[in-house]
Structure 1
């Protein structure tokens, strides 16, 4: 694992301990091996890159930071430096409790298991419509044909009740805005925000529908009516928080299924294990890689002194492979009985849409197992990853045995 050469861009022990660069393409290519090295050598390490920041890679230390919002704030930015974007406050991820709780209390009731379960039938219909779009061809780019369009189409329709005539257009904006490596991403981010603003105006004119949009528009924040800017920011987070992350897990899951066809065979034989498989995909292949907090006061984490104003970058994906927490942490184990992963984060900012994400992944995997056979990666496929913040494959070109459309799904 250790390179004989050192120098710029070369990951060695000194790089991990002193010069960790979360934006490094080399880190993106060798993420899990590098994080394993960090856990063993320097689980809380200071990097001199990008003005300096700390890196936490053990689950114990990450939970210490994520759960202590009084000491570690989200208000000064949710990541260490990233490419510049539009000045938009995405709520409530950029505020701390108690204000953060007010925003979360608006949305949480609309993503409870009982609510999400009512969306299962239309979600399954959508999954099969998307599979119908490519199943006769025997090949597709899984990211383009399924993983990226699926979560957004489901969310805009079922959670937001967006106009049917807008679904494809606004989902296109959201898909592109989530792919920060693309030059048109920022333009689509602004178009998405513009659509949300117009959607809010439309919903103000319409009667209530009893959904999360109504809850946001009727909210009071700190004893005053919510502003339009806050409403846009809240809905913006609901949209972007679950699109590329769910797409990323689906893409990584497909890569794993291509590499390990025995997993697919086991799930066909024992479909009752699909929920277990979802949890293992989330643990091993979660796309929500890392996030940062800023220390409000001097404190200690993992034996290191963190001073006021310093940032700590927490690697969720490292915590989920922590040898101290998981037996055989790199093994995909369908019979794993204890799976306390934190793929959805931890603390007050834990993902509000985890129930929806799990349902989407379970139904997608169920239909993929049932309908796609002899799945394999196309020879010479160049997958690549979007960034080191989101472990989403750019492209997953696959081959499979051509199948039949479910015509009934279109009747």
Structure 2
């Protein structure tokens, strides 16, 4: 019989036996709880939601991510939905929901459209978008950084530069995509349906108008197990590409602003030495990466650090915990611009590592360059309350800030 609830304060027993990734208490006390798990039970068996394993140590997380032959994405995993109703389901979304060798064939088609050389021409229009977003609030001396900058940026850039969406659709479809990533379950479902409908229309339009040489064309030309990709699979794949890069990038930007407000010296150092911003991007990704965990299913009986995992059991591995493991990152809870070795797993690892990592890094770098150049005296707004949504992605819901009013470009 499944436990009725894991609500209540987080205790050692909670961490060891009742770990619940949907718990509001975990969202509020996230990194300290993961640190407790690494220390007490780096591989733990939770009795919540039908039972699953929780893995928090860097070495174990990396091995599971790379061992697709035992820990599969293809078999699917049943997890509660974000509404916390306890219901779950299985979904195969390409290429995340398949394993090699087919996964490699399909992912290769997508990878070709996100190489450094491919995205380099997007730098100037991305900087222009960043400039426009900052211009919209810089004279006021205040804004909700998440609503007015962090969330609009990645989606508007992606729909325009990657999918070549019609200019008149950008604001509306980005609004749907953003809402689909947030914790209001009813609105998220509604917006997911609208987004899927828009993508379906984009595909139909592309088939009529002809190819543009972009990732949409690559998806439409893909073959799955020797047959052409279906219409539904194409929609799902493009939807995953959209959602995979929006709230994840927004979450890192929001966390970066929170760090700037808490540590003015960090902000000042980057303003004085913007050449350090690429290093800062990597530390923000390591410490505050918003892609926090992912699930796998054991294809066979296996062992993780002496624990026997049975065929068919679910394993939840925490990238966010691995990235603060002292065994891999000395002084792991310190934001270190001079960190010599930073093999973080903010983009995942193994064959399913995030295809958009180059794009995310570029967006973060350009955003931080313009933020530290143009804003001064950045502070959290008085009486600001910072809450995070936190299940498989983690991001602040709102980051109200004040700053010295500036001039539009």
3-state SS of 2:111 partner: helix
Specify the alignment match of 1:55 in structure 2: 54
Q: Does 1:399 align with 2:398?
A: no
Tell me, yes or no, if the aligned pair for 1:25 and 1:388 is still in contact at 8 Å. Answer: no
Specify the alignment match of 1:4 in structure 2: none
Tell me, yes or no, if the aligned pair for 1:288 and 1:316 is still in contact at 8 Å. Answer: yes
Give, in whole Å, the separation in 2 of the partners of 1:144 and 1:355.
24
Specify the alignment match of 2:274 in structure 1: 271
Specify the alignment match of 2:79 in structure 1: 80
Tell me, yes or no, if the aligned pair for 2:79 and 2:89 is still in contact at 8 Å. Answer: no
Give, in whole Å, the separation in 1 of the partners of 2:78 and 2:253.
24
Tell me, yes or no, if the aligned pair for 2:179 and 2:187 is still in contact at 8 Å. Answer: yes
Give, in whole Å, the separation in 1 of the partners of 2:407 and 2:77.
45
Specify the alignment match of 1:385 in structure 2: 388
Q: 1:102 aligns with which of 86, 100, 105?
A: 105
Specify the alignment match of 1:313 in structure 2: 316
Distance 1:191 1:89, change over 3 A: farther
**Structure 2: any 5+ residue segments left out of the alignment?**
1-5
Deviation at 1:89?
Answer: 4.3
Give, in whole Å, the separation in 2 of the partners of 1:138 and 1:332.
27
Q: 1:327 aligns with which of 330, 342, 352?
A: 330
Distance 1:196 1:45, change over 3 A: same
Deviation at 1:388?
Answer: 2.8
- Out of 200-209 and 384-393, give the one that drifted further: 384-393
Give, in whole Å, the separation in 2 of the partners of 1:78 and 1:382.
34
Tell me, yes or no, if the aligned pair for 1:28 and 1:385 is still in contact at 8 Å. Answer: yes
3-state SS of 1:392 partner: strand
Tell me, yes or no, if the aligned pair for 1:85 and 1:186 is still in contact at 8 Å. Answer: no
Q: 1:289 aligns with which of 269, 292, 301?
A: 292
Specify the alignment match of 1:225 in structure 2: 228
Deviation at 1:315?
Answer: 0.3
3-state SS of 2:31 partner: helix
Deviation at 1:79?
Answer: 6.7
How many residues are aligned here?
400
Give, in whole Å, the separation in 1 of the partners of 2:108 and 2:24.
38
Specify the alignment match of 1:42 in structure 2: 41
Specify the alignment match of 1:116 in structure 2: 119
Tell me, yes or no, if the aligned pair for 1:176 and 1:182 is still in contact at 8 Å. Answer: no
**Structure 1: any 5+ residue segments left out of the alignment?**
1-6, 407-411
Q: Does 1:344 align with 2:343?
A: no
Give, in whole Å, the separation in 2 of the partners of 1:175 and 1:316.
23
Specify the alignment match of 2:16 in structure 1: 17
How is 1:170-249 mapped onto 2 (pairs within 5 angstroms)? 170-181=173-184, 183-249=186-252
Give, in whole Å, the separation in 1 of the partners of 2:275 and 2:19.
42
Give, in whole Å, the separation in 2 of the partners of 1:382 and 1:295.
40
Give every structure 1 segment of 4 or more consecutive aligned residues whose post-TM-superposition deviation is greater than 6 Å.
85-88
Superimposed CA distance per residue, residues 25-59 of structure 1 (whole angstroms, 9 cap, x where no aligned partner): 11111111111111111100111111111100001
Q: 2:265 aligns with which of 262, 267, 283?
A: 262
RMSD of aligned Cα (Å):
1.5
Deviation at 1:217?
Answer: 1.2
Tell me, yes or no, if the aligned pair for 1:43 and 1:57 is still in contact at 8 Å. Answer: yes
Normalised by the length of structure 1, the TM-score is 0.95
Normalised by the length of structure 2, the TM-score is 0.95
Tell me, yes or no, if the aligned pair for 1:88 and 1:233 is still in contact at 8 Å. Answer: no
Superimposed CA distance per residue, residues 343-368 of structure 1 (whole angstroms, 9 cap, x where no aligned partner): 00011110000000000000000000
Deviation at 1:273?
Answer: 0.3
Give, in whole Å, the separation in 2 of the partners of 1:183 and 1:191.
13
- Out of 146-155 and 81-90, give the one that drifted further: 81-90
Tell me, yes or no, if the aligned pair for 1:78 and 1:291 is still in contact at 8 Å. Answer: no
